[in-house]
C-alpha cells in the first residue's frame, strides 16, 4: 500500500472528500441537508429521498462510463466539473436564493462527488495489490470519512472568521472548490490508462443504456459479490429503520441528563458513536478477514448486528441506543469494507464500474426505502420496540441467505468481456 500510485489516489480521494465536507458545512444543514429537523417521519423520509435518490437512480447508467472511458480522465474532468455547480451554489447563497434551484445545484454537486468516489474505488485495484485490498479500503474509507469531517470543521472555522451572513456563507461554500481542484491535479499525475479500464467491449451508448442490467448480471454471476450485495442491502434496510427510530426518540422522547443530551446535541453524540464504530471496523476488518475470510467475516457481522438490536436497541434508553449505534456502525462498515474488496478482487475490470454503481444504488435506495416504509408505522415519539424486531430478524436472516448464495453452484464467475451491453 506504500506505492506512489496508491498515495496519489489517496491524495485525490482525500482532497475530494475535504471539499465535500466544506461544501456541506458551508451550505448549512438548516438550508438543505438537515432532514432530521423535519416535523414528521414522512417528512424525514421525503428529505432523504430528495438527497439520495436522484443520483442513485441514474448511477448504474453513468457508472458504465467507468468501464468505458479512461478513469484518469474521468477523475480529472468530473472534479473540475464539480467546481462549476459549487461556485453557482455559492453565488446563489450570496444573493439569497433559496428553494428548488438551490436544491438542484446541491444535488448536482452531490451526484458528481459520488461519481468521483465510485471512480476512485474502481481504480483502486490498479494501485494496490490484491492481498492488500481489505486494508487499503479500510484506510481509504476511514481516513476519508475523517477528512470529510475536517473539511466541515474548516468551513465552520472560516465562517466564524468572515461572518454567518449570506456573503460569508457564500465564501465558505466556495472554498470547497479548492478540494475539487487539488483532486483533479492529483489525478492528472497518473499516466493515461494507468487506472483502467483494461479493455472495453461495447460502444458507449449501448454500455450506458444497459448499465443497470449489466451491473446486475455481473454481480449475479459472482457468488461472493451477489452474497455481499444481499448482506449490504439487509444492513441498509435494517439501519434505515433503526436510524429513523433513534432520530425520533432523540427529537421527541428523550430528555437530557448528565453527559447524555437529547435533541440535536444528542444526535451529534449518536453520530460520534457511529463514527467511532467506523474507526473500529477499519481496525478490525483486515485481521478478521485474514483469520476467517471475507464471507465468514460478513456473516459474523450480520449476526452481531442482529443481536445488538435485540440487546441494546429494544430497551430504548439513550445509553443503550448509543451503544447500539456504535455496534451497528461497526458491523455495517465491516460488511461494506469486505464487499469493497470482494468487488475489486472478484469482478473483471471491464464490468467493475457498473457493479460499483449498482452497489451505490443498493446502498442508498435500500436506506431511503426502509425509512419510507418505517415512517408509515413508527409513532411520532419513536417508541416502537416491536418495529425494531424487523431489522433484528432481517440481519439474522441475511446471515443465512448470505451463506446459501455464497455457496451456490449455479453461479459462475464472469470472464473479462462477458458483460458487453
* Tens of pLDDT, residues 161-204: 887 777 888 898 999 999 999 999 999 999 998 998 876 555 45
Q: Is 315 left (phi over 0), alpha (psi -120 to 50) or beta?
A: alpha
For residue 279, which of 234, 238, 326 has the smallest C-alpha distance? 326
pLDDT tens digits along 104-156: 888 888 888 888 988 898 899 999 887 788 788 888 888 888 788 788 778 87
Q: Dihedral angle at the C-alpha atoms of 210, 212, 218, 224, nearest 10 degrees?
A: 180
Mean pLDDT in residue range 330-344? 92
Is pLDDT of 75 > 70? yes
Structure confidence at residue 304 (pLDDT): 98
Measure the CA dihedral 324/228/285/356, to 10°: -110
The predicted model gives 213-217 an average pLDDT of 82
Averaged pLDDT, 392-420: 75
**pLDDT value at residue 51:** 60
C-alpha span between 233 and 330 (Å, rounded) = 16
Residue 359: predicted pLDDT: 87
Residue pointed to by grid coordinates 461495447: 202
> What pLDDT does residue 161 have?
85
Read off φ and ψ for residue 414, nearest 5 degrees. -75, 145
The region that residue 99 occupies, defined by phi over 0 for left and psi between -120 and 50 for alpha, beta otherwise, is left
Mind listing the domains of the chain with CATH numbers? 4-195 (1.20.1250.20), 216-406 (1.20.1250.20)
Cell 490484491 -> residue: 130
- The verdict on pTM exceeding 0.85 is no
**Quick one: pLDDT at residue 50?**
60
83 versus 38: the higher-pLDDT residue is: 83
Classify residue 29 by its DSSP letter: T
Average pLDDT over residues 93-97: 82
| Mean pLDDT within 294-309 | 97
pLDDT of residue 420: 38
Q: Determine the Cα–Cα distance for residues 401 and 303; give it in Å rounded to an integer.
A: 12
Those residues whose C-beta lies under 8 Å from the C-beta of residue 286, and which sit 6 or more positions away, are 134, 135, 138
Q: Which residue has the cell 457498473?
A: 354
Three cell numbers at 420? 458487453
In the structure grid, which three cell numbers stand for residue 254, read together?
Answer: 428523550
**Ramachandran quadrant class, 236 (left: phi over 0; alpha: psi -120 to 50; beta: rest):** alpha
Q: What is the mean pLDDT of the chain?
A: 84
Give pLDDT, residue 408.
83
C-alpha dihedral sign at 122, 341, 11, 103: positive
225 φ, ψ to 5°? -75, -45
- Would you mind telling me the total number of residues written for the chain in this entry? 421
- Out of 43-57, 235-249, 253-267, which region has the weakest mean confidence (pLDDT)? 43-57
Percentage of the chain lying above the pLDDT 70 cut = 84
User: Strands, E, within 189-333: which ranges?
Assistant: none
Q: What Å distances lie between residue 91 and 88, 159, 161, CA to CA?
A: 5, 16, 19
pLDDT in the model for residue 62? 67
Q: What is the pLDDT of residue 218?
A: 85
3-state helix, strand, coil in the chain (%, to 5): 80, 0, 20
The predicted model gives 283-303 an average pLDDT of 95
CA distance 116 to 122: 10
Inter-axis angle of helices 318-346 and 294-308, nearest 10:
160
Closest CA to 3 of 123, 178, 115, 151: 123
Q: What is the pLDDT of residue 358?
A: 85
Cα dihedral 319/320/326/330 (nearest 10): 170
Cα–chain-centroid distance for residue 60?
A: 15
DSSP lists the bridge partners of residue 260 as 257
Query: Alpha-carbon distance 92 to 169, whole Å?
Result: 10
Distance between CA atoms of residues 132 and 92, nearest Å: 44
Q: Which of 66-70, 158-162, 383-387 has the highest mean pLDDT?
A: 383-387
Q: What is the pLDDT of residue 319?
A: 96
Amino acid at each position: 500500500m506504500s506505492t506512489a500510485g496508491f498515495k496519489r489516489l489517496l491524495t485525490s480521494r482525500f482532497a475530494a472528500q475535504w471539499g465535500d465536507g466544506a461544501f456541506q458545512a458551508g451550505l448549512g444543514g438548516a438550508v438543505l441537508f438537515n432532514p432530521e429537523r423535519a416535523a414528521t417521519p414522512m417528512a424525514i423520509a421525503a428529505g432523504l429521498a430528495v438527497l439520495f435518490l436522484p443520483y442513485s437512480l441514474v448511477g448504474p447508467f453513468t457508472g458504465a462510463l467507468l468501464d468505458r472511458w479512461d478513469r484518469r480522465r474521468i477523475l480529472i474532468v468530473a472534479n473540475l466539473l464539480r467546481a462549476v455547480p459549487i461556485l453557482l451554489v455559492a453565488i446563489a447563497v450570496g444573493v439569497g436564493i433559496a428553494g428548488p434551484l438551490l436544491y438542484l445545484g446541491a444535488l448536482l454537486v452531490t451526484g458528481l462527488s459520488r461519481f468521483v468516489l465510485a471512480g476512485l474505488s474502481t481504480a483502486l485495484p490498479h494501485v494496490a495489490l490484491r492481498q492488500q485490498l481489505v486494508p487499503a479500503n479500510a484506510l481509504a474509507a476511514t481516513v476519508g470519512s475523517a477528512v470529510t469531517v475536517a473539511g466541515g470543521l474548516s468551513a465552520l472555522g472560516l465562517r466564524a472568521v468572515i461572518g454567518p451572513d449570506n456573503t460569508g456563507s457564500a465564501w465558505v461554500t466556495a472554498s470547497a472548490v479548492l478540494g475539487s481542484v487539488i483532486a483533479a491535479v492529483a489525478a492528472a499525475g497518473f499516466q493515461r490508462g494507468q487506472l483502467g479500464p483494461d479493455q472495453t467491449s461495447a460502444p458507449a451508448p449501448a454500455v450506458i443504456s444497459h448499465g443497470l442490467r449489466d451491473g446486475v448480471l455481473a454481480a449475479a454471476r459472482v457468488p461472493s459479490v451477489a452474497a455481499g450485495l444481499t448482506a449490504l442491502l439487509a444492513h441498509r434496510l435494517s439501519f434505515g429503520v433503526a436510524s429513523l427510530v433513534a432520530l425520533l426518540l432523540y427529537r421527541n422522547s428523550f430528555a437530557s441528563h448528565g453527559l447524555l443530551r437529547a435533541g440535536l446535541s444528542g444526535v451529534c453524540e449518536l453520530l460520534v458513536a457511529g463514527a467511532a464504530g467506523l474507526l473500529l471496523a477499519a481496525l478490525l476488518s483486515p485481521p478478521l478477514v485474514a483469520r476467517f475470510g471475507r464471507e465468514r467475516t460478513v456473516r459474523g457481522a450480520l449476526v452481531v448486528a442482529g443481536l445488538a438490536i435485540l440487546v441494546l436497541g429494544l430497551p430504548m434508553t439513550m445509553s443503550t441506543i448509543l451503544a447500539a449505534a456504535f455496534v451497528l456502525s461497526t458491523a455495517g462498515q465491516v460488511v461494506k469494507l469486505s464487499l469493497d474488496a470482494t468487488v475489486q478482487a472478484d469482478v473483471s475490470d471491464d464490468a467493475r464500474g457498473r457493479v460499483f454503481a449498482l452497489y451505490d444504488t443498493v446502498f442508498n435506495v435500500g436506506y431511503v426505502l426502509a425509512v419510507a416504509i418505517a415512517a408509515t408505522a413508527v409513532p411520532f415519539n419513536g417508541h416502537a420496540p416491536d418495529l425494531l424486531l424487523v431489522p433484528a430478524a432481517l440481519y439474522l436472516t441475511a446471515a443465512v441467505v448470505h451463506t446459501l448464495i455464497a455457496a451456490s453452484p449455479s453461479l459462475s464467475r464472469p470472464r473479462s468481456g462477458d458483460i458487453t451491453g
